[in-house]
Amino acid sequence: MSKDKFLKLLQQELDRIDGVKTAKRNERIITGFTKDPSPKGIINGKEVLIFNSNDYLGLRFHPELLKAEHKASEEFGTGPGAVRFISGTLLPHKQLEEKLAKFHKRDDAIIFSSAFATNLATLFSLIVGQSKDSVVDNDVLVISDALNHRSIIDGIRIANHPKEAKAIFEHMNPADLSRILKENVGKFKRALVITDGVFSMLGEIQKLKELRKVISEYDKKYERGILLIVDDAHGIGALGEHGAGSEEIEGVQADVLIGTLGKGLGSDGGYVVADQVVIDYLRESAATYIYSNSISPGTAAAGSAAIELLSKKQGQDLINNLKANIVFFKKLVKDNDLKMAADSKHPIQPLLIGSPEKTKALVSFLLEKNILVTSINYPVVAKGADEIRIQLSATHTKDDIKQLIDALLEARKSIEF
């Protein structure tokens, strides 16, 4: 049967993936969480301290979010029932968009089912017009940081933009962006510069201020200007005095800011905040907004509760705890001569290990000690830069962090790193 041949091909690919040891599908199942205030899940009947979650403020179990989610589900049901322009625009969606716009000091916001879906449709819409009648032409140079997230890469990919209209600037190198913009003056009417706000492998914060400066130098040389698009999925709810992300650290605003509710904000879904015309245009053109359901009303209400919380003392305390935990962790790292892959100011703290075998052994060792971390290996990072990615949360106690460091020191007796 031809189907068998088709499936055989897929099996061969699975075998190849297993062979190079990059398989991801045998995920660990968290069967529950403890009532402990620390982030502790249950895996194989054992309580484990979670050091690999993006829930940087520990909001996913916050009573305010849970209460808001339950109330909205009671009132509006468990799902949106339709896409937004049919009958799926519910009050919690509008309230969330208003709160996000205000939080990020923008005109308006638009929410999507995820940040991945946000990037796919937003980039497509801003690069090419949605239909053959669209007046938005594709006379645009698209410039992307070399280490941008897969959702950005795919957003650019699906726009099917010509090769000569796409450029990649060296990772976090504003001078290289300047070179590209200079070389292309007169060749394109407009340009888009797209970057992650935080690069999640090493916790690096993009140099947004410098990028903005470069863009302002060339802005007038492009007939229709240059837009800076920032996906700050890992920055929002993790960085800045008010948790507003890398923009707050860098003191500049993107023209189009993309975020997720599914990491530091403890809920789920993606969004864009920008000028009114950008948001209006996306509501008319973004395929994953028009043809795909939004988040459920409970999820939207939990997102709103997260934003509200950040403006209150309770939220501020969590932001301060997170910052104190980062400082505390870094001090213990220094005192104990542990090597980091980068000097990160973000709750992502990458411990340099050096080989896939050692990272694997270390992850297993730590799991034996009831600690959950993630290994990041080549090709995601350079060969020899294999790391253990530690993600801190506001709800880790100092004892939790000490427990992690003690386990690492014990591991160092048998695994060299």
Ligand X SMILES: Cc1ncc(COP(=O)(O)O)c(C=O)c1O
* Residue numbers 234-253 binding ligand X by CB under 6 A: 234
Binding of ligand X at residue 326 (CB under 6 A)? no
Binding of ligand X at residue 115 (CB under 6 A)? yes
Least Cβ distance, residue 232 to ligand X (angstroms): 8
Q: What is the DSSP string of 154-189?
A: HHHHHTT--GGGEEEEPTT-HHHHHHHHHHTTTT-S
Residue 97's SS3 state is helix
Least Cβ distance, residue 75 to ligand X (angstroms): 25
Binding of ligand X at residue 155 (CB under 6 A)? no
Binding of ligand X at residue 151 (CB under 6 A)? yes
Contact 181, 214 (CB under 8 A): yes
Binding of ligand X at residue 122 (CB under 6 A)? no
- Order the strands of the 190-196 sheet from edge to edge: 108-112, 270-274, 256-260, 226-231, 190-196, 140-145, 166-169
Cα-based torsion angle of the residue sequence 74, 79, 84, 86 in order, rounded to the nearest 10 degrees: -90
Compute the Cα dihedral for 107, 111, 116, 118 and give only its sign: negative
Least Cβ distance, residue 373 to ligand X (angstroms): 17
Active site residue: 62, 161, 207, 263, which one? Answer: 263
Binding of ligand X at residue 53 (CB under 6 A)? no
171 is catalytic: no
Active site residue: 234, 294, 296, 346, which one? Answer: 234
Largest CA distance in the chain: 67
Binding of ligand X at residue 116 (CB under 6 A)? yes
Question: Among residues 342, 359, 337, 343, which one has the least CA distance to residue 415?
Answer: 359
Contact 219, 170 (CB under 8 A): no
Which two structure tokens, joined as six digits, stand for 65? 């979010």
Least Cβ distance, residue 337 to ligand X (angstroms): 30
Residue nearer to ligand X on the CB measure, 116 or 124: 116
Least Cβ distance, residue 165 to ligand X (angstroms): 23
Number of residues that bind ligand X (CB under 6 A): 13
Choosing from 53, 260, 267, 375, the residue that interacts with ligand X (CB under 6 A) is 260
The number of angstroms, rounded, from the C-alpha of 80 to the middle of its chain's C-alpha atoms is 24
| 380-399 footprint of ligand X as x/- string (CB under 6 A) | --------------------
CA 76 to CA 226: how far, in whole Å? 41
Least Cβ distance, residue 289 to ligand X (angstroms): 14
Least Cβ distance, residue 243 to ligand X (angstroms): 17
Binding of ligand X at residue 194 (CB under 6 A)? no
200 is catalytic: yes
Binding of ligand X at residue 296 (CB under 6 A)? no
Residue nearer to ligand X on the CB measure, 178 or 206: 206
Residue nearer to ligand X on the CB measure, 256 or 405: 256
Residue 297: cis peptide before it, omega within 30 degrees of 0: no
Choosing from 174, 237, 245, 270, the residue that interacts with ligand X (CB under 6 A) is 270
Residue nearer to ligand X on the CB measure, 178 or 375: 375
The helix (run of H) or strand (run of E) holding residue 96 is: helix 91-103
Contact 354, 383 (CB under 8 A): no
* Residue numbers 95-114 binding ligand X by CB under 6 A: 114
Binding of ligand X at residue 55 (CB under 6 A)? no
234 is catalytic: yes
User: Where would I find the H helices in 144-275?
Assistant: 150-158, 174-183, 208-218, 246-250
How far lies 374's CA from each of 13, 183, 202, 236, 283, in Å? 24, 41, 12, 21, 37
Residue nearer to ligand X on the CB measure, 203 or 262: 262
User: Where would I find the H helices in 219-293?
Assistant: 246-250, 276-285, 287-290
Binding of ligand X at residue 203 (CB under 6 A)? no
Residue nearer to ligand X on the CB measure, 285 or 391: 391
* Residue numbers 214-233 binding ligand X by CB under 6 A: 231, 233
- Catalytic center residues: 200, 234, 263
Binding site for ligand X (CB under 6 A): 114-116, 149, 151, 196, 200, 231, 233-234, 260, 262, 270
